[in-house]
Amino acid sequence: MNQCANCHGPVQVARLSCPACGLSYEGRFHLPRLARLEPAQQALVEEIVLAAANLKEVAGSQEISYPTLKKRLDALITALRDLREEDGARCQSLLDEVEAGAIRAEEAARLIRELNGGA
């Protein structure tokens, strides 16, 4: 789920909890880029990985033509590039917030690591 069912705006993770001990973390968390793709694009990524990037195999398992798969792959690549650019702009914004004293450097560093796929 990457958008609100009510207004269709993007959703943001605000709370994480450990089912083993019950400890919870609240704050500003960002979903990884792959989690922010459309569900059909996420499924396509999964199919490509499971087929070891054999696009002919993916096209066959999806029962679509190779050119149709290529168009979907091109759209996926564009979506990932757009998300990467958005994350880059968000990183710059976080650095600006640190400079302005709006957030602590440690918080910005954590958020930037999350945006770039680190924990």
Of residues 9 and 29, more confidently modeled: 9
| pLDDT band per the 50, 70, 90 thresholds, residue 110 | confident
With a CB cutoff of 8 Å and minimum separation 6, the contacts of 75 are 41
pLDDT in tens, 11-35: 888 888 999 999 998 877 778 889 8
pLDDT, residue 108, reads 92
Q: What is the pTM of this model?
A: 0.75
With a CB cutoff of 8 Å and minimum separation 6, the contacts of 80 are 33, 37
Q: Which residues are paired to 15 by β-bridges?
A: 26
d(CA 114, CA 57): 33
pLDDT in tens, 27-85: 777 788 898 899 999 999 999 999 999 999 999 999 999 999 999 999 999 999 999 99
Q: Which amino acid is at 2?
A: N
